[in-house]
């Protein structure tokens, strides 16, 4: 039995390059002249088999509602863009939106949820696999890492200030009840890390990937440590130094524009790395933890707070999500499974003494960020332009959904050099939560 034209068209479309469609390829170049009829049949199948609260406006002016009360409206701006809906993935839907091939109208959380429903109609929920040479081969040099960090963080300080908390903490917050405001939850996170590290006055603290300085300022002002914060972002470096001066902590806090591989003034009593090791690269994990080990004094304590893969083989989420993030958001970012992080940490000579998942906390954090981002859209478009705003709208709302659905995780790994006895840590975890 021969295949129906619509199925042949769908299989052919799956082999087409998404870049052609995003560029607005002319329908006249397509091999099937009856595209509208094929697409209409495809939408009828979606409406019949899947309850997706979506309304579509087609390039010819026609409107198709997949349910009676759709929550999101999607405008397909050309016949070429229709292919994305006939063989969708989260990655190519996001690309089509960013590049202007489709427009969406509706709450951004609903938009990403419906995009996931569309991507799920193909039934592929597998994690992304690494094909051929490992993706990290030849990556994560000092030069490439700095370029990747600057691409992500040097959009502008003003851009981030509109949707982060006043301290500009760009990492998972900590919620005791889930009802706290973002600023309260971020302060609670900083203090939790300080308590886990058991910071004491005059101890030397190194903060790897210090961002805009929130951790070192908090640790110095509340725990009396002498802190060094390092970053590869020029804009973070300048603002962090300004904030240290404004807090009157120049004698206790130093901010450096420096790669973690170039720090050579140990030993440090304590080391924190918050939201940074996602940039290290899978092949460099053991070397990264070895550097932490070498920079710690005997009995020193380190906290690694970072996002991890849900897949035990450290593969990406799937459905094109990894490709989207690598292309538009975090160039060269790689997520290890927590088991790999622990393995490499241990191989580097550190002893793991505590591990805590904050996945649900990060889902809440990203929800806060996404809401604040949506509230500031006009100002953000003025600062960064419409295309950059489209990237971040999808990214933040998508992260909130991803953490809520267990597509990735985040762990705080507390480790010591030369044993917990040498570090003087208590036998129980009570000290982490009692002020």
SS3 (DSSP) at 251: coil
Spatial strand order of the sheet with 350-357 comes to 253-257, 226-231, 204-208, 268-274, 296-309, 408-417, 350-357
Sign of CA dihedral 333, 396, 194, 409: negative
Q: Does residue 105 contact residue 72 with C-beta atoms inside 8 Å?
A: yes
Q: CB atoms < 10 A from the CB of 425, how many?
A: 21
Tell me the catalytic residues. 399
The token pair at 81 is: 């863009």
Longest dimension (CA), the chain: 80
Instruction: Spell out a b/e string for 25-54, using b for 16 or more CB atoms within 10 Å of the CB, else e.
Output: beeeebeeeebeebbbebbeebeeeeebbb
Instruction: Spell out a b/e string for 306-341, using b for 16 or more CB atoms within 10 Å of the CB, else e.
Output: bbbbbbeebbbbbbbbbbbbbebbbbbbbbbbbebb
Q: Does residue 231 contact residue 237 with C-beta atoms inside 8 Å?
A: yes
Helices (H), 34-107: 35-49, 82-86, 90-98
Give CA–CA dist 153/160, Å, rounded: 9
Q: Does residue 319 contact residue 230 with C-beta atoms inside 8 Å?
A: no
Q: Position of tokens 């975890």? A: 429
Q: Does residue 408 contact residue 335 with C-beta atoms inside 8 Å?
A: yes
Beta strands in 292-424 (DSSP E): 296-309, 350-357, 408-417
Q: Does residue 163 contact residue 373 with C-beta atoms inside 8 Å?
A: yes
SS3 (DSSP) at 306: strand
């Amino acid at each position: 039995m021969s295949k129906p034209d619509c199925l042949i068209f769908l299989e052919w479309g799956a082999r087409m390059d998404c870049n052609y469609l995003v560029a607005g390829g002319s329908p006249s170049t397509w091999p099937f002249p009856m595209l509208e009829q094929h697409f209409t049949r495809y939408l009828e199948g979606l409406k019949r088999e899947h309850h997706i609260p979506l309304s579509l406006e087609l390039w010819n002016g026609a409107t198709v509602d997949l349910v009676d009360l759709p929550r999101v409206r999607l405008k397909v701006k050309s016949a070429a863009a229709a292919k994305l809906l006939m063989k969708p993935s989260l990655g190519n839907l996001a690309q089509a939106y960013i590049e202007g091939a489709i427009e969406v109208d509706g709450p951004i959380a609903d938009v990403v949820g419906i995009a996931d429903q569309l991507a799920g109609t193909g039934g592929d929920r597998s994690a992304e696999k690494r094909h051929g040479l490992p993706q990290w081969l030849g990556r994560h040099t000092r030069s490439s890492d700095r370029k990747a960090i600057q691409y992500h963080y040097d959009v502008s300080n003003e851009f981030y200030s509109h949707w982060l908390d006043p301290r500009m903490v760009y990492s998972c917050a900590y919620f005791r009840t889930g009802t706290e405001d973002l600023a309260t939850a971020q302060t609670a996170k900083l203090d939790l890390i300080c308590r886990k590290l058991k910071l004491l006055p005059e101890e030397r603290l190194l903060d790897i990937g210090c961002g805009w300085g929130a951790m070192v300022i908090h640790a110095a002002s509340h725990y009396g440590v002498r802190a060094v914060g390092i970053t590869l972002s020029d804009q973070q470096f300048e603002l962090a130094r300004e904030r240290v001066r404004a807090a009157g902590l120049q004698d206790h806090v130093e901010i450096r524009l420096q790669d973690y591989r170039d720090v050579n003034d140990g030993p440090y009593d304590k080391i924190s790395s918050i939201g940074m090791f996602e940039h290290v690269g899978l092949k460099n994990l053991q070397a990264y933890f070895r550097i932490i080990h070498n920079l710690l004094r005997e009995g020193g304590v380190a906290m690694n707070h970072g996002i991890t893969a849900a897949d035990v083989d450290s593969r990406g989420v799937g459905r094109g999500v990894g490709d989207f993030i690598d292309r538009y958001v975090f160039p060269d970012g790689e997520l290890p499974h927590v088991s790999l992080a622990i393995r490499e940490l241990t191989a580097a000579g550190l002893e793991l003494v505590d591990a805590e998942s904050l996945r649900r906390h990060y889902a809440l954090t990203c929800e806060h960020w996404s809401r604040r981002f949506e509230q500031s859209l006009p100002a953000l478009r003025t600062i960064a332009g419409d295309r950059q705003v489209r990237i971040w709208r999808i990214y933040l709302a998508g992260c909130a959904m991803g953490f809520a659905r267990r597509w990735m995780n985040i762990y705080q790994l507390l480790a010591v050099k030369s044993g917990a006895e040498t570090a003087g840590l208590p036998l129980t975890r009570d000290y982490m939560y009692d002020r």
